[in-house]
Every structure is written in structure tokens, then in C-alpha cells.
Amino acid sequence: MLSISDYLQAGETTVSNLVIEQYQKLGLTDEEFLFWLQLYRSQAKGDLFPDLSLISDIMGKTIETSYRLLNQLMSKGFLKIETKQNDHGQMMDTYDLLPIFQKIERLLETKAQTETSLSEAETIKQLYQSFEKEFGRQLSPIELEMIGQWLETDHYKPELIRLALREAVLNQAYSLKYVDRILLAWERKNFTTKEQVAEDQKRRKQVMLQKEIEEQGEKNSPVPKVTLHNWLNPEDSE
């Protein structure tokens, strides 16, 4: 019967879920991954260059199979053998297991970049659709080229172009030239985000509102009393 003491003395092997979740996407077979785990387990216990015969016994494989799996991992770039100096100054061979983590990092970066590219492509597609919806027609080749130039040459953000389109529609100006003038005006003010535009619009509205309040106040203010001077009798001046 397995006792608690036996269980604790056996130790544990902790490996990131990323390795378990991504090993097949990296191109490892189940057998190769299990062999890598055995090397990882041995190193976790302090044996940096474990005896393959011991691993063969644990896996129920022949020693030839273990060497084959070792060579496969090395040829695929998941494993390297390095010679290092230990604490006693002796040179010793070790298995470098870090490459698999580096491969996972690159895999996740590529995945993130792909997702970002797809998201950007969808955003641009929706931008073109917004113009066609507001204009009530399909865009001409020249108009498509102009929007493409805003994105690729002028590097306007899609959200900024969409906001300029909204401004044009509110002014009932269904023209890309009008939208272009709005974008140029914002560019002169160094506006690159919709938040900057919104802040500027808020400020201008406050200025206009203050001006209206002042003008209304002038209209409603009482007519000032004008003193009439009686040049014949100064005492009668009002």
C-alpha cells in the first residue's frame, strides 16, 4: 500500500500547461513528447544528463527506441546537448530543454500577429462598407484608391477616417474630398486619435456656448441710463 511518505518522497514534476497544450502544434508526436517529459522530470530531480536506459525502462521501450527519440528531438530542434562546467570545475554534458519553450513563444507570437492582421483586415473592410452605406452606392475605383491612400500613405487610423465620414454626413457632404479636407485639418492639429478629436469638439462647443450666453446677456441687459447735461442750468442735469 502506498503511504503518504512514499508519495512525498517520489516528488512531483510541474510543467506549464502551455507545453501540454501546444506540443502537437509544434510538431511533436505523443511518443516524442512523453520522452521529453521524462528528460524534464529527471532534470527537475537534479539529473541534467539522465541515463537513457533508465528512461527506457520507465517508458517500456528499448534503448534503441530511446536513442531514436533523442535524435528526433534534436533534429527537430527541441533538444540540444551542451557541455558545461559544474560547481566542482568538471566538464559535464547536459540536455538543454529550453528550445521547446522558445518555440512555444514564437508560435504564440505568430498566432497573435495573425489574429491582429485578421482583425485589422476586418476593420478596414467595415470602413469601406461604412462609406458605401452612407453614400448609398458602391465606391468608384478612384474613391477606393483614395481611401487606400489614407490608410497606407497618410497612415490615418480607420477610426479617424470613420469619424471624418461622420462629420461629413452630419454636414450633408457626401464627398470624399470633403472627408479629405476634414482629415487634413485634423492632421494640421496633430490629431491622430478619436479622443483628441472629441476633446477638440468639446472645447469648441464650450467656446460657442459661452459666446451665445454672452450675446444673449447683452440682448437682455437693461438699457443704460444716459445722463443729459443741461448746459443752461447745470443743477437741472439728470
Residue where a domain stops, chosen among 28, 62, 97: 97
- Statement to judge: residues 148 and 74 lie in one domain: no
- Statement to judge: residues 158 and 77 lie in one domain: no
pTM: 0.62
- Statement to judge: residues 8 and 72 lie in one domain: yes
Residue where a domain stops, chosen among 29, 62, 97: 97
Could you tell me if residue 182 is inside a domain? Answer: yes
- Statement to judge: residues 209 and 128 lie in one domain: yes
Could you tell me if residue 186 is inside a domain? Answer: yes
Query: Burial of 40 by CB count in 10 Å (0-12 exposed, 13-18 middle, 19+ buried)?
Result: middle
Could you tell me if residue 122 is inside a domain? Answer: yes
Could you tell me if residue 103 is inside a domain? Answer: no
- Statement to judge: residues 81 and 122 lie in one domain: no
Rounded CA separation 12/41 (Å): 8
Could you tell me if residue 171 is inside a domain? Answer: yes
Contact (CB, 8 A) for 153 and 122: no
Q: Which residue type sits at 173? A: A
CATH code, domain carrying 204: 1.10.10.630
Could you tell me if residue 200 is inside a domain? Answer: yes
Rounded CA separation 84/106 (Å): 27
Rg of the chain in Å (alpha carbons) = 38
Non-local CB neighbours of 25 within 8 Å, separated by 6+ positions:
107
- Statement to judge: residues 123 and 152 lie in one domain: yes
Helices (H), the chain: 4-10, 17-26, 30-44, 52-59, 63-75, 99-135, 141-152, 158-170, 176-188, 194-220
- Statement to judge: residues 55 and 134 lie in one domain: no
Rounded CA separation 176/146 (Å): 8
Could you tell me if residue 108 is inside a domain? Answer: no
Contact (CB, 8 A) for 179 and 187: no
- Statement to judge: residues 186 and 123 lie in one domain: yes
CATH code, domain carrying 47: 1.10.10.10
User: Tens of pLDDT along the chain (238 residues)?
Assistant: 666 666 567 778 899 999 999 999 999 999 999 999 999 999 999 999 999 999 999 999 999 999 999 999 999 999 999 998 878 888 999 999 999 999 999 999 999 999 988 899 999 999 999 999 999 999 999 999 999 999 999 999 999 999 999 999 999 999 999 999 999 999 999 998 889 988 988 888 888 888 877 777 666 666 555 444 343 344 554 4
Q: Phi/psi at 134 (nearest 5 deg)?
A: -70, -35
Instruction: Domain count for the chain, please give it.
Output: 2
- Statement to judge: residues 69 and 148 lie in one domain: no
- Statement to judge: residues 84 and 136 lie in one domain: no
Q: Which domain holds residue 48?
A: 4-97
- Statement to judge: residues 91 and 125 lie in one domain: no
Grid coordinates representing 88 are: 566542482
- Statement to judge: residues 126 and 92 lie in one domain: no
Q: Which of 18, 20, 10, 13 is nearest to 39 (CA)?
A: 13
Contact (CB, 8 A) for 10 and 38: no
Could you tell me if residue 125 is inside a domain? Answer: yes
Contact (CB, 8 A) for 199 and 181: no
